[in-house]
Structure 1
Amino acid sequence: MLRKLSTLALLASCLVSQAQLDKEVKMNQFITILMQKMTLEEKIGQLNLTSVGFDVTGPILSQGVEEKIKKGLVGGVFNTYTPVAVRKLQDIAVNETRLKIPLLFGYDVIHGHRTIFPIPLGLSASWDPALVQRTARAAGDEAAADGLNWVFSPMVDIARDPRWGRVSEGAGEDPYLGAQMARAMVKGYQGDNFILDNTVLACVKHFALYGAGEAGRDYNTVDMSRLRMYNEYLAPYKAAIDAGVATVMTSFNEIDGVPATANKWLLKDLLRKQWRFNGLIVTDYTAVNEMIAHGMGDAKKVGELALNAGNEMDMVGEIFLNNGVDLVKSGRVSQATIDAACRNVLEAKYKLGLFDDPYRYVNEARNKTAIMNEAKLALSKEAAIKSMVLLKNANQALPLNAAKKIAFIGPLVKDHRNLIGNWSGAGDWKKAVSLWAALEQKFGADKFLYAKGCNLVDDPALRKRLNDHDGQIVLDEKTPEQLIADAVQTAQQADVVVAVLGEAFGMTGEAASRSMIGLLDNQLDLLKALKKTGKPIVLVLMNGRPLTLSWENENVEAILETWFAGTQGGAAIADVLFGEANPSGKLSMTFPRNVGQVPIYYNAKNTGRPFDENQKYTSKYLDVPNTPLYPFGHGLSYTTFNYDDIKLSKATITATDKLQVSVHVANTGNYDGVETVQLYIRDMVGSITRPVKELKRFEKVSLKKGESKDLSFTLTVEDLKFFNADLKWVAEPGDFKVFVGTNSQNVKEASFSLK
């Protein structure tokens, strides 16, 4: 019977493979015939990605796009959505051009399209890839219903410097967790194929190493060894490629002294040859043009470099369009290079079904039912709850008791706009549920006390810089002193104070690096004034990066990190504060004690003089401990969890063995809760130095009050491998430690050996 089943499975696999092969042959034949009809100018036109629409993410807006579309000189459009707007441009492409080639329509769908979910850094704090996949599926469904077929997401850059504003867009500092999130988002956007009209092309970005910019400054230089690339930074990109991501976006930074957009090793040797990526490569916004400022040459030269490196679509800059024909005729770029690039653009359109139906993503009826429907709003709230991280909870300050008199104080209590954060794209902040609105809906009006306390941003220079780019920060009519006085008076009437503070949405994201990453001075002044009242303080944070919170950690009773939580953020925060939901998020990025510790991350390497408080000449600071304020993987619950010692199935394994790592976890507190059990390893001796810990497994476990469970993780030799000095993927015999616990610092440990 087993032999019969296995034969049937093999036959089915062969049939699927043959069907796939038949599709490939049919596609290649179609595109070959089409390209035989195309002029050189029309082929180069397919490499042109223009920007038309409601917003723009850079300094240039494409000019004369409609005329260029009519001439067959546009391959795709960026920033245009809604069925009406998309149909208008697609009509031109398929009715007024010589070859009637449909357009691609792309957009920055980063953490939701119309329904906004928590920022990606927040989503990664859920440690729940299945949840993240569901949010990407929902976002892709909305985007497709709004005329889009291409989303510039996921961003999977490893980030270890919280000064960089774009940490908000990624999954934090760890390659293993980052890889899980990258895979989940690609699967969510694309599904298993593009047969369904609510799947969209995903675009993994920014390839590569963009999160390692010097000084945490956006667009800045990156310089690292190949060893560090392979072992610490490349895994999430590779996971996205293995998951079948359809497109890849190049990054702004340089690698080995060459901008990524001109880096042949990166795009050809690594991406195409080693990883066998066969999809479409697109530049970031005007990245080709910006190579002029990098010092790579004039417009024609950078166009030559970018095309020969393997780029296939030029986002907005039109360097390919303006110089491509001359580059081919002069022999600096081959006809074969243009043909290969054009083919990949056409293949993307073919796989989406646009040649069969250019309007398959233009459906006004579906637009009315798919966008911000009940299911997506419920998912937005669920994702927000599961993303929140309880950083501190002294004396069981949380959950709140609604029978007590509670004062909600801060500029973000009634705020809508900042809830949906940066990169909220087509999201409508006016539809976001503020914390105050959620409280009134849950408890009725006039239940709680309120005071604004301070402006979100008082500093005139910062406020102007933010408002010059649509920061939407409005000063209160009262002076800062009057606002604090009102807040103190309100707090004195309360049993407990909930201070809702954080960043303006424009303080994180692209072009939003900060040299100091604490709460702004005016907000800290408010907290200090509230502290003097003697009332217990619960601090609720809304922000897009790890913050320095040393004073806050010492002086308030509880701290709840909510990130920028999305459309249903206020309702989610209310549920968590009052115990209707138990926080379960875990940090995916380390919180430093102060900015002087940056970069700080859990999977660092030892030095030859490891930290020793009793020895002067060891690796440490004079003025602050080496340890972070909150480590990677940290996150409390309203209940408590106890871990027994680790049990290993073997003390020694070989290359063919599996090691079972078991641990008993018990809910020892007074609430039902969810714990993320984390497993790390350490290779004690290697041919190259190895990190002090590396995340290898994690599992979320739901435990009722008083309940306990035995968890088991399976490790194989693959989990012990790394790239050695020759960039070979190897596991080396020797001693290892395995750690299991509630975060990267608070762990149980055991030892084993690999023969």
Structure 2
Amino acid sequence: MKKILSGILILVCAFSLAQNYKYPFQNPKISVEQRIENLLGLLTVDEKIGMMMDNSKAVPRLEIPAYGWWNEALHGVARAGTATVFPQAIGMAATWDAPEHLKTFEMISDEARAKYNKSFDEANKTGRYEGLTFWTPNINIFRDPRWGRGQETYGEDPYLTSVLGVAAVKGLQGDDPQYFKTHACAKHFAVHSGPEWNRHSYNAEISKRDLYETYLPAFKALVLEGNVREVMCAYNAFEGQPCCANNTLLNDILRGKWKYYGMVVSDCWALADFYQEKYHGTHPDEKSAATDALKHSTDLECGDTYNNLNKALASGLITEKDLDISMRRILKGWFELGMLDPKSSVHWNKIPYSVVDSDEHKKQALKMAQKSIVLMKNEKNILPLNKNIKKIAVVGPNADDGLMQLGNYNGTPSSTVTILDGIKTKFPNAEIIFEKGCEVADPSSKTSLYQNFMSQKNGEKGMKVEFFNNNEFKGKPVNISVNKTGINYNSFGGTQLAPGVARENTSAIISGIFKSSYSGDVVFSAFASDIYTLFVDGKEIATRKGPDARHPSEFPIKVEKGKEYLVELHHSQKGKYVNIGFEVYRKDLVNFVSVKEKVKDADVIIFAGGLSPSLEGEEMLVNADGFKGGDKTTIELPKVQRELLAELRNTGKPVVFVLCTGSALGLEQDEKNYDALLNAWYGGQSSGTAVADVLAGDYNPSGRLPITFYKNLEQLDNALSKTSKHQGFENYDMQGRTYRYMIENPLYAFGHGLSYSKFTYGDAQLSKNIINSNEKITITVPVTNISNKDGEEVVQIYVKRNNDVLAPVKTLRAFERVLIASKETKNIQLTISEDSFKFYDEKTDDLVSKSGDYTIFYGGTSENSGLKSLPIKVK
């Protein structure tokens, strides 16, 4: 009787509180559960289905606005206008600095809230890239350096990925007990890391040991420690079932063992792969695909297959109760973000737009770029450079490329400092010679002439771009703009081509007046995903379609100096994705001897090379030797750069290689051609300043590698298991891969990084030498800076399970980045958690504590020669 009276009292109170609202679900004073049930009872079936896709439909009668669940914030708010752009994720992993990582994502979520507030205030709705639900971070394991999307991850180690992933989640979601600042999303669940070209059809088959010890720990940490609000299931299949309808991953592990009650969202158009024969082809039609995904608790679809849920209902494959299970989790997201509440009730809504691109955020972008830089080699202490140096030669394709620095899944900074800019500013009294020398992977030298375009006669610089929401150029354009930087549009990964432009059945006219600065050949180069036609002065120069359109084609045109030419590129979309590229340039063969002659008198040569996000990334159309579909087929430096480096070495002058990359390269054959190697990754908007600071010694480098740099591809492939039906890159087995399972010595080890300081390690002390299972311990490590320069050291703790041939060689279990003054000794105390002694157990089908003898390694690297050790026994 008391329970009944109590329930009546709650309902009366709720009714009383709701009197000022049209519906109880609008009342923020009642419980979220009550609000969900009220709204669920008000929604029709069609309205529910309309809210179960990323482009959530408005329900005007209930005052629910349209909403775009799809938003990105990998290393800054992406694809949403001006935003602070921090180093690419792999670069932030190289900082090994969890507190600063947390701070960075607190700033990113501040900018995200500010942008959402502005979008909602202006339009009373939010479209794609304007919302609060961010599909970040990518915590897949970077198991193979060939994967183009590895740049989006925190590297190859489960523990480092877990720590940084949890920090990102907490920074995004905030610490308010009532409202989340934004949503974070752990992706891509779970065994997913390329290749890009077959991700829609690939079936990953691995041992349970690899699953639990390598591929799952970061996801488990984000769910159980980070309280991540969304999990994204992957494109590929696992054990024969697509990941977005996978019994083991979704039902048994995520919802079962981990008791995850948050949202599961599909990767974009992943459900369409279920029923297409050229992809997974595991389901006969859209209706069955939608049914299976829903039954396996994929709540929200990025795509449109869930439009078929009505058919599934009519066929009896699902019931409305099945919809409601997912809808409860979706609606909880609306309420816990405060998106249906009065603006004044959510304190995150007070974040002003002035935080976007603020000075404080710019300073943090520089700090993270500095912290991310890894000094990998420094023979004869060639670095830092003398501040009074007289002549510096800056050479290489990445020296003056600000776009390269932004990586992929990036925002748009208000300004970018290139490496060349940074060096010029840092050394104002030195003579700076700049020679691009070569392209990143093209054996020819291209001099861009894009700056010679005007949008129209006497118009502004750049080309006019008109998009139509049909593929026949009919009616008025839905978006007109002037592109001042270069034509490169693509919708891979879901990038919207421009505001208001549809994803499918579009067309574009790109036009401009080209005024030649010389007489001779000018090369117009174009590519597109479907069909394009190139016109010059109204004359059709070329038409390409199908596969012929997808790779860059060059069209040399004779021009006269000072004459103007009307150039138009017409593109019509027939397929699913849009990809449009157009360049204009003067093309010459690379003249290595000429470059050498121009720089031979310099005091030092800075070579800025490596890779580019135009070559490695998500499901890309790339036509270059050594690259396929966004991935690499080799890990060597592109041939043209190797040859240029060798020529620069022949000058006899010191060569400093500033490497820009999102992945590891096999540089063994190039090592002889440079004295110092500085890894700057894709360092974000302030990368050029950070590089110059390190070169000049104004910043003491302290980054560490989050990935292994193998000597060459053979060293990696020869170590891989030969028992898998997949070989090489397609093999997901961990045997021989990454520092945890590699027996041979790599070129540069995981955790490696030099400094302008020198540190020594004393004898560490454990709080206990014998512990019980499920008991944590502390280790105290004395570290001394024996140099004359203050510096940061990254203290690393590794654990090895002895007498277990299947266990990792060693695995990271704790770390801390710490500032140590010159001649100072610090006792660094770290906790080795009870999880450090857990390994896969077949009986329990999970990780359990294993008794036995272990070795604790400690030092500033994972390389054996740089580590000390202590024995420990687990009872």
User: Which bracket does the TM-score occupy, shorter chain normalised?
Assistant: 0.7 to 0.9
Q: 1:241: which partner in 2?
A: 223
The one-letter code sitting in structure 2 at the alignment partner of 1:442 is: K
Shift of 1:502: 1.5
Q: 2:329: which partner in 1?
A: 344
User: Residue 283 of structure 1 is aligned with which of 251, 266, 269?
Assistant: 266
Q: Name which of structure 1's ranges 102-111 and 649-658 shifts more when overlaid on structure 2.
A: 649-658
Q: 1:158: which partner in 2?
A: 141
- Pairing 1:189–2:172 present: yes
Distance 1:374 1:656, change over 3 A: closer
- Pairing 1:477–2:586 present: yes
CA separation in 1, counterparts of 2:305 and 2:833?
49
The one-letter code sitting in structure 1 at the alignment partner of 2:248 is: W
User: Residue 302 of structure 2 is aligned with which of 315, 338, 343?
Assistant: 315
Q: 1:128: which partner in 2?
A: 97
Shift of 1:491: 2.0
Residue pair 2:291, 2:318 contacting (<8 A) in 1 also: yes
Q: 1:675: which partner in 2?
A: 793
CA separation in 2, counterparts of 1:421 and 1:656?
41
Residue pair 1:651, 1:751 contacting (<8 A) in 2 also: yes
Shift of 1:474: 5.6
Residue pair 1:174, 1:588 contacting (<8 A) in 2 also: yes
Matches within 5 A, 1:324-403: 324-357=309-342, 368-403=353-388
- Pairing 1:408–2:377 present: no
- Pairing 1:720–2:705 present: no
Residue pair 1:456, 1:473 contacting (<8 A) in 2 also: no
Matches within 5 A, 1:268-667: 268-292=251-275, 293-297=279-283, 298-316=285-303, 318-321=304-307, 323-357=308-342, 368-404=353-389, 405-424=391-410, 426-428=411-413, 431-444=415-428, 447-458=431-442, 477=586, 479-482=588-591, 484-511=592-619, 512-598=630-716, 626-655=744-773, 659-667=777-785
Secondary structure of the equivalent of 1:738? strand
Secondary structure of the equivalent of 1:711? strand
Shift of 1:245: 0.8
Shift of 1:718: 3.9
Cα displacement string for residues 686-740 of structure 1 (whole angstroms, at most 9, x for unaligned residues): 5x83111011111222112222222233435442122212224332322111111
Secondary structure of the equivalent of 1:665? strand
Distance 1:121 1:472, change over 3 A: farther
Secondary structure of the equivalent of 1:130? helix
- Pairing 1:693–2:662 present: no
The one-letter code sitting in structure 2 at the alignment partner of 1:633 is: G
CA separation in 2, counterparts of 1:249 and 1:24?
31
Distance 1:636 1:474, change over 3 A: farther
CA separation in 2, counterparts of 1:475 and 1:363?
46
Cα displacement string for residues 145-175 of structure 1 (whole angstroms, at most 9, x for unaligned residues): 2222111101101121010111101111111
Secondary structure of the equivalent of 2:699? coil
- Pairing 1:175–2:158 present: yes
CA separation in 1, counterparts of 2:151 and 2:274?
26
Distance 1:400 1:175, change over 3 A: same
- Pairing 1:140–2:109 present: yes
Residue pair 1:175, 1:233 contacting (<8 A) in 2 also: yes
Secondary structure of the equivalent of 1:519? coil
Secondary structure of the equivalent of 2:292? helix
Residue pair 2:111, 2:353 contacting (<8 A) in 1 also: no
Cα displacement string for residues 186-217 of structure 1 (whole angstroms, at most 9, x for unaligned residues): 001001237568x2111110011112x46996
Shift of 1:357: 3.5
Shift of 1:361: 10
Q: 2:472: which partner in 1?
A: none
Cα displacement string for residues 337-385 of structure 1 (whole angstroms, at most 9, x for unaligned residues): 1011112111101111111147999999966412111011000000001
5+ unaligned residues in a row in structure 2: which ranges? 1-26, 78-82, 117-130, 447-524, 528-549, 554-577, 620-629, 722-735
Distance 1:401 1:739, change over 3 A: same
The one-letter code sitting in structure 2 at the alignment partner of 1:29 is: Q
Shift of 1:33: 1.6
CA separation in 1, counterparts of 2:776 and 2:215?
27
TM norm structure 2: 0.72
Shift of 1:473: 8.7
CA separation in 1, counterparts of 2:665 and 2:763?
33
Cα displacement string for residues 293-352 of structure 1 (whole angstroms, at most 9, x for unaligned residues): 201122122111111111111112x1111x111201211122211011112111101111
Secondary structure of the equivalent of 2:700? coil
The one-letter code sitting in structure 2 at the alignment partner of 1:122 is: G
CA separation in 1, counterparts of 2:151 and 2:71?
18
CA separation in 2, counterparts of 1:661 and 1:446?
48
The one-letter code sitting in structure 1 at the alignment partner of 2:92 is: L
Shift of 1:45: 0.9
The one-letter code sitting in structure 2 at the alignment partner of 1:632 is: F
Q: 2:874: which partner in 1?
A: 754
CA separation in 2, counterparts of 1:650 and 1:362?
46
Structure whose alpha-carbon radius of gyration is higher: 2
Residue pair 1:413, 1:452 contacting (<8 A) in 2 also: yes
CA separation in 1, counterparts of 2:840 and 2:30?
37
Matches within 5 A, 1:732-751: 732-745=850-863, 746-751=866-871
CA separation in 2, counterparts of 1:237 and 1:333?
29
Residue pair 1:498, 1:537 contacting (<8 A) in 2 also: yes
User: Residue 51 of structure 2 is aligned with which of 36, 46, 52?
Assistant: 46
Residue pair 2:338, 2:346 contacting (<8 A) in 1 also: no
Distance 1:752 1:361, change over 3 A: closer
Residue pair 1:132, 1:181 contacting (<8 A) in 2 also: yes
Distance 1:565 1:489, change over 3 A: same
5+ unaligned residues in a row in structure 1: which ranges? 1-21, 51-73, 76-92, 605-618
Secondary structure of the equivalent of 2:54? strand
Q: Number of aligned residue pairs: give it.
A: 668
Q: Name which of structure 1's ranges 278-287 and 34-43 shifts more when overlaid on structure 2.
A: 34-43
CA separation in 1, counterparts of 2:168 and 2:332?
22
Shift of 1:471: 9.0
Secondary structure of the equivalent of 1:477? strand
CA separation in 2, counterparts of 1:576 and 1:296?
53
CA separation in 2, counterparts of 1:657 and 1:346?
40
Secondary structure of the equivalent of 1:188? helix
CA separation in 1, counterparts of 2:385 and 2:315?
72
Secondary structure of the equivalent of 2:232? strand
CA separation in 2, counterparts of 1:587 and 1:473?
36
Residue pair 1:457, 1:463 contacting (<8 A) in 2 also: no
Residue pair 2:203, 2:239 contacting (<8 A) in 1 also: no
CA separation in 1, counterparts of 2:837 and 2:347?
49
Residue pair 2:196, 2:631 contacting (<8 A) in 1 also: no
